[in-house]
Amino acid sequence: MSVQFGKCNFDGKPVDPEDLAEVRPVLAPYGPDGEGYICKDNLAVLYRAFHTTKESRREVQPHLCPSGAVITWDGRLDNREELIGRLTRETSATSTDLEIVAASYERWGTDSFARLIGDWALSIWDPSTRSLLLAKDFVGTRHLYYAVEKAEVTWCTILDPLVLFAAHPFKLEEEFIAGWLSFFPATHLTPYAGIQAVPPSSFVSLTNGKRTITKYWDFDAGKRIRYHADTEYEEQFRGVFSESVRRRLRSDSPVLAELSGGMDSSAIVCMADELVLAHGGSQAVQTVSYYDDSEPNWDESSYFRIVEAERGRVGCHINVGKQDFQSLQVAENKFAATPRPVYRSREASEQFANLLRQTGSRVVLCGIAGDEVTGGVPTPIPELEDLLARARLRQLASRLKTWALARRKPWFHLLFESAAGFLPAWLSGTPEIKHPAPWLNPGFSNRNRPALLGYPRRVKLFGPLPSLQENIATLEALRRQLTCDMPSSEPLFEARYPYLDRGLLEFLFAIPREQLVRPGQRRSLMRRALAGIVPDAIRNRKRKAFVSRTPLATIAAHHAELAAMFCQPVASTLGIADSAAISLALQRARDGQEGRIVQLLRIMEVETWLRQMSAHTALTLDPAGQEQKTQFARQISAHRDSAQLGRMLDNLKINGGQNHGV
């Protein structure tokens, strides 16, 4: 996962080469394999390489096209052969991904973006239209941020340079914080008002005084895949899943795969072995497995050892039982552009970093999204909603009876649940699935209710099938999660997600819902299709889910420290949370009574991050009155000596008005 930074002045003003010089040390840890840059007239681009394929080692970036367009590309192109076949004059089998992308843009312009399948982010300066184009793949596995200031635009694949080297501090983007505290923020948001992210499956076009965001690709709502027999669905699933894994095995260094013992990761590892065997490869995927022997209801080691025994290869085992709060204290010299997890295992992180160094791995296969897209949630509602929307009443009656017997539930209850999905919550009487945490400020909750509830959507009766609407809503939630997964340079690696392959998702979203979930058979298609590939003990195991007691025990052990931190929290000064309510929640957690542990950990992450950001003056405090200013000073003084506090307050910009951020 390489990095890029760029700056463009639409008014024609030359870019100062010093702008690249100050950014260079920040980008260097993310791109240890060399540098390329251009600084000419009103455009400057800096690229740092992190190679994961043999083709990428021959790329020269930024790339200058025959038309004069300047392209910078960070990605992996999965449909190389297909595009080479269409671009026979411009490309060949030895062309790099970058050369293929450039030729595609020269041929089709922005229409080329929909043809680029893989994980990628790119920027294009087109002198013919004097426009800057920023685009990302359809899922958003890569990050790409931009900030517009009058006639100047700055962009980067990591947030740090846009924040650290801005000419002014930023106000806090309240909706981002609300999303972080619940189900992750919208994909276009960052914590900083004035810095935005390029949304997945979209490109941003920037010209002097104008910005447009265009969605270049979406799922075909009219696409239906219907076969005569189950065996045909199973064969097709094996094909698209195999292709998805094959695409992500393309690497010139050993590939590491997470192996948890669940169906998601086990299927990836076992399919990778099948591909290596079929193609005569000698380098099998290496695995890393996590376990916690302190949790009596998390016996994952017995399952991932089954897979290891089947493949005749033992992977690395990392004990994550010793998790603790790692960053409650303010780190003065450590900058984090977004909130980060505070509850983790330092030893596990170090072991993982050592494993990457020892194996030379740069690519890690992750099982994220498998449960969500292959029918891991055993609910009949999307199937029944499809039958309701298409008025297939006879078939609906039959399926209601079948599902009611399987779930031991009256059929009219299922019918009501299905019909309620088309109605507003206030009309259907259906209670909201989630409510904002009780320690959040009521005003904050009311202003940001959609973000706090995960941006809920009502199912539409007309248009795409309800099951497709549900699938796209699930995918959007996964996109938000990936947006918050910030790349790390310690250790440096590229995560790849086989279950988020475009071809695989197009297939899964187009087949009948009853192929994925059947009464008593969650993940029905996946389990049937992978018989003989994944061990039966894994295919037939119950759902891998547990409730961890360790966070509660850790909060109890650190209660005094946490209580002191939330006695006068910065989040309270900003109108985000109520300190008394948080203190009560901490007491309940100490006594083993608090059920919102994830949300409680999230507010700890936000509070720690806000305290840390005060040392960097990247955000501005906008208190409503002098009393809030005094209270904020007391909070910071509890973590810094008086000299440090004086320097910080001298740098803070304090303005009147409503309380928006730090």
Report how far apart, in Å, the C-alpha atoms of 385 and of each of 391, 393, 421, 432 are: 10, 11, 8, 19
Instruction: Evaluate the CA torsion angle 297, 302, 308, 311 in order and state its sign.
Output: negative
Report residue 572 CA to chain centroid gap: 28
- How far apart (Å, rounded) are the C-alpha atoms in residues 133 and 111? 12
Q: What is the pLDDT of residue 167?
A: 87
Q: What is the pLDDT of residue 162?
A: 96
Q: Which two tokens stand for residue 401?
A: 């009876």
3-215 architecture in CATH? Answer: 4-Layer Sandwich (3.60)
The model's pLDDT over 484-519, given as tens digits with 9 standing for 90+, comes to 998 888 899 999 999 999 999 999 999 999 999 999
The continuous run of DSSP H or E covering 192 comes out as: strand 192-193
Name the one residue in this structure whose structure tokens are 């083993």: 592
Q: What is the pLDDT of residue 543?
A: 67
Q: What is the pLDDT of residue 205?
A: 97
Cα Rg of the chain (Å, integer): 26
643 falls in which pLDDT band (50, 70, 90)?
A: very low
End-to-end CA distance of the chain: 31
- Whether the CB-CB separation of 59 and 97 falls below 8 Å is answered with yes
- How far apart (Å, rounded) are the C-alpha atoms in residues 42 and 13? 5
What's the chain's average pLDDT? Answer: 88
Task: Work out the angle at residue 522's Cα, subtended by the Cα atoms of residues 517 and 525, and round it to the nearest 5 degrees.
Answer: 60
The model's pLDDT over 188-225, given as tens digits with 9 standing for 90+, comes to 999 999 999 999 999 999 998 899 999 999 999 999 99
Q: What is the pLDDT of residue 645?
A: 32
The model's pLDDT over 517-540, given as tens digits with 9 standing for 90+, comes to 999 888 999 999 999 999 999 998
The continuous run of DSSP H or E covering 146 comes out as: strand 145-149
Q: What is the pLDDT of residue 299?
A: 66
518 bridge partner residues: 521
- Three-state DSSP class for 214? strand
Is the confidence at residue 655, as pLDDT, over 50? no
> Percentage of the chain with pLDDT > 70?
89
Residue predicted with more confidence, 655 or 580: 580
Residue 387's identity, in one-letter code, is L
329 falls in which pLDDT band (50, 70, 90)?
A: low
Residue predicted with more confidence, 256 or 560: 256
Q: What is the pLDDT of residue 39?
A: 94
Is the confidence at residue 644, as pLDDT, over 70? no
Domain ranges of the chain: 3-215, 230-374+485-539, 381-478, 550-651
Q: What is the pLDDT of residue 209?
A: 80
CA dihedral of 431, 551, 565, 607, whole degrees rounded to 10: -60
Average pLDDT, stretch 451-457?
90
Is the confidence at residue 316, as pLDDT, over 70? yes
* Burial bucket for residue 277 (CB in 10 Å: 0-12, 13-18, 19+): exposed
Q: What is the pLDDT of residue 80?
A: 96
Average pLDDT, stretch 116-126?
97
153 bridge partner residues: 8, 148
Domain 230-374+485-539 grouped into CATH 3.40.640.10: no
Task: Work out the angle at residue 474's Cα, subtended by the Cα atoms of residues 468 and 476, and round it to the nearest 5 degrees.
Answer: 105
The model's pLDDT over 161-185, given as tens digits with 9 standing for 90+, comes to 999 999 889 999 999 999 999 989 9
The continuous run of DSSP H or E covering 496 comes out as: strand 494-496
Cis peptide before 491, with omega less than 30 degrees from 0? Answer: yes
Residue predicted with more confidence, 418 or 428: 418
Is the confidence at residue 628, as pLDDT, over 60? no
211 bridge partner residues: 206
Is the confidence at residue 632, as pLDDT, over 80? no
Phi/psi for 654 (5° steps) reads -115, 120
196 bridge partner residues: 146
Is the confidence at residue 657, as pLDDT, over 60? no
The model's pLDDT over 51-81, given as tens digits with 9 standing for 90+, comes to 999 999 999 999 999 999 999 999 999 999 9
Q: For the beta carbon of residue 518, count every other beta carbon within 10 angstroms.
A: 20
pTM: 0.90
Candidates 253, 82, 259, 372; CA nearest to 271 is 259
Q: What is the pLDDT of residue 503?
A: 97
How many helical (H) and strand (E) elements, i.e. helices and strands, does the chain have? 28, 21
Is the confidence at residue 333, as pLDDT, over 80? no
DSSP state of 196: E
The model's pLDDT over 370-388, given as tens digits with 9 standing for 90+, comes to 999 999 888 999 999 999 9
Is the confidence at residue 306, as pLDDT, over 80? yes
Region of poorest pLDDT, from 272-281, 431-440, 526-535: 431-440
Report how far apart, in Å, the C-alpha atoms of 201 and of each of 198, 211, 476, 487, 572 are: 9, 17, 11, 20, 37
The continuous run of DSSP H or E covering 404 comes out as: helix 393-407
Q: What is the pLDDT of residue 653?
A: 31
Region of poorest pLDDT, from 135-139, 421-425, 443-447: 421-425
Is the confidence at residue 624, as pLDDT, over 60? no
285 falls in which pLDDT band (50, 70, 90)?
A: very high
* Exposure string for 356-388, b = 16+ CB within 10 A, e = fewer: beeeebbbbbbbbbbbbbbbbbbbbbbbbbbbb
435 falls in which pLDDT band (50, 70, 90)?
A: confident
Report residue 227 CA to chain centroid gap: 34
Q: What is the pLDDT of residue 245?
A: 97
640 falls in which pLDDT band (50, 70, 90)?
A: very low
